[in-house]
Amino acid sequence: MDSNKNRLSQIFTPDYIAEFMVKNIKQHYFSTHNESTIDKIKILEPSAGKGIFLNYILGEGFTDITAYELDQTLKTHLLRSYPNIKLKFENFLGSDANEKFDIIIGNPPYLGQNYNAQIFQELVKNYPICKKYFVGNMDLFYFFIHLGIEKLKPGGLLSFITTNYWLTKSKKTGIKHLKPHITKDCFVIYYFDLSKIKVFKDAKGQHNCIFVLQKKYEEEKQKKIDKKIDIIQVKSGNNQFNENPPEKIFIDILNKKNSPHLLKYQSAMTNKDLSKNNGWILKYPHDVKNVVEKIEKHCRFNGIKSDLIDFFVIRNGLILIKDDIFILKENTKLKIVDSDMFIKIDDAFIKLNDGEKQKLKKIYKSKVIQPFNYDKNDFSGYLIYLDKNEFKNQNLTIRNELVEKKYPNLTAYLNQYKGEHENILRNAKENIKDIYFPRRGSFITQYDTEHKRKLIKLEPYYDKEPKIFFSYISKSNVFGYTKDSYYATSDTYFLWLREGRNDIDYLFLLAYLNSKIVNFLFKAKNIMIKRSKTKLEEEIPIPNITLFRSKYQLIIIDLIRYFTSSIIHNIVSVDETKLDKLREISPNTYSQIRNEKPPRRIIDILLFILFDIVEEDIDILIEKYY
């Protein structure tokens, strides 16, 4: 793709997709409208490209057609090929929002704001629609959805093919205005998941979807009318889609024929369930919802479902000025001889005093995290961890002098990189005198029961308190744990217990978080951790073990704790006395777990029993939908 195309973000739609979308929107339109003649319908294509959609729009009998195209090199081709279409060779984002249409359809351009800041600044400067809805970390096609909604007539339909990432994002990202706009003015009536198909040959990503919005009538807004959402989902594992996209299957959908490659159902999430601020789980079949609700029944405190965010503050590990400087590699910048440690200053190794040795901490990256544990031997080096709050009552100049006096060799080492550190801090608009300390992750803000703000120093927690942690990029539920000293870089998230929450059973919670039950929740709620933990915070319910009261349930919980502890401490043998009570009260359960060897597998069996869930039911749902 040449630079001009990259700027225009042109990725042309395959014919079979355009044909399907046009025929699909036509069916949807005539199923909900009473127009007797097609020539009364005003239709808009906001990014015509080579005219792929226009060809099929004309072929379906539409006559009142308007199209926009910004690429002037396509002008001659479009004018010659489509003389009866109102073609406008200008930016659609500058068009009049008061010009209304019955149908808007197309493949809007994809262009992320993060790496194209200048382009977005120009858009915001030149077009009111962009100024109105711009936020950081958004995509160009968001503007097309916004303006498309504004240009729709009440009852009109908008159908776009886009990436599907925006559906799961929260208000903390670029969809801050998009979801409120959609939920206020439109119904989502149709969602076709294309994530298992490689639709665009040369494009990155390929997590695509087709969706249809219907503009609400004012009466529907006032009466808060709800509508269901039709879902079509490609089954997983159909690799033939990638090599030879099955055009026939898309025609079968239009003809309402069944296909072994597709799932068709109405989402358990209706339009009234669509949040203005959080992710949407549209691929949510009713049989999946039933199991989720069965799990959540055991996650209520005072009758209200509680999630991770109600118990924990989730924060990154340590963000340093520069990892390569603050993390000392043994035998390069650090030497250890017996109990002595030497740091490299000006090509010589200088012995650290006892206080300085205490400030060197083994530090880990997220790759070491394992379910229930972590690889203790795979640490990345020794972190220089100095705490500026140790001298917090001093002014900045005196504080640094006190730090240098107490930790002379560590600060002498860091001062070798003083200019580099100051430049990094200056560019980040942070205090350039903070050259000896971590930038983030050394404390968290908490609020007490009276809502008073307080800073919690994390060094004691990193050193000795129970810690649950997980990778900042993950598709599955892998949660590590330790009570030992564990410092980690920013690619790790930590669960820090909220102020006033003392009702967490760490061993039981760790078993639950690493369980097959939570793995199912990850799939059912489309939880993927990609530098954002919002969905994890708000979608993983926390069990209330006080709801389990029977003698049998209490024995199960005690065994879950026992086997969790055995994994943490690498204990292979089983203490038979722990199983005696279970054998007495439930011989069948005893026999079931006695024949299983891996403790993690035993924990899963026990949790399924505790939650009264049939494991095979979950297996069937995962196979069917995920």
pLDDT, tens only, 558-576:
999 999 999 999 988 888 8
- Min mean pLDDT across 116-125, 346-355, 522-531, 584-593 is at 522-531
Which pLDDT belongs to residue 202?
60
Q: Sketch out the chain's domains with CATH numbers.
A: 3-284 (3.40.50.150), 320-427 (no CATH), 545-625 (no CATH)
**For residue range 86-113, what is the model confidence (pLDDT) as tens digits?**
999 999 999 999 999 999 999 999 888 8
Mean pLDDT over residues 457-469, rounded?
Answer: 95
Interaxial angle between packed helices 506-513 and 516-524, expressed in degrees from 0 to 180 and rounded to the nearest 10: 50
> Is the model's pLDDT at 51 over the cut of 50?
yes
| Mean pLDDT, residues 455-473 | 94
User: What pLDDT score does 3 carry?
Assistant: 40
Query: How far apart (Å, rounded) are the C-alpha atoms in residues 35 and 41?
Result: 8
Burial label, 44 (beta-carbon count in 10 A; 0-12, 13-18, 19+): buried
142: Cβ–Cβ under 8 A, 6 or more apart, which residues? Answer: 133, 166, 174, 175, 178
Exposure string of 471-510, with b = 16+ CB inside 10 Å and e = fewer, is bbebeebbbbbbeeebbbbbbbbbbbbbeeeeebbbbbbb
Q: Is 40 exposed, middle or buried (0-12, 13-18, 19+ CB in 10 A)?
A: exposed
345 pLDDT band (50/70/90 cuts)? very high
Q: Which pLDDT belongs to residue 236?
A: 59
Reported as a single tens digit per residue, the pLDDT across 24-40 is 999 999 998 876 689 89
Burial label for 154, CB within 10 Å (0-12, 13-18, 19+), is middle
Calculated CA dihedral for residues 155, 159, 165, 170, nearest 10 degrees: -10
Give 248's pLDDT tier (boundaries 50, 70, 90): low
The string of DSSP letters for 445-496 reads EEE-TT--EEEEE-HHHHHTS-EEEEESEESS---EEESS--EEBTTEEEEE
Reported as a single tens digit per residue, the pLDDT across 130-162 is 999 999 889 999 999 999 999 999 999 999 999
Distance of CA 93 to the CA centre of its chain: 29
Using 50, 70 and 90 to split pLDDT, how confident is the model at 393? low
pLDDT at site 117: 87
Q: With CA atoms as reference, report the closest residue to 97 among 63, 71, 133.
A: 133
Q: Which two tokens stand for residue 150?
A: 């504004």
Decide the pairing of beta strands 101-106 and 152-163.
parallel
* Residue 371 confidence (pLDDT): 97
Question: Taking 50 as the threshold, does the pLDDT of residue 242 lie above it?
Answer: no
Across the chain, mean pLDDT equals 90
Reported as a pLDDT band with limits 50, 70 and 90, residue 115 is confident
* Predicted local confidence at residue 35, as pLDDT: 67
10 Å CB burial of residue 536 (0-12, 13-18, 19+) is buried
Q: Is the pLDDT of residue 479 over 50?
A: yes
Helices (H), 312-443: 323-326, 354-357, 396-406, 408-415, 418-427
Asked if residue 244 has pLDDT above 70, the reply is no
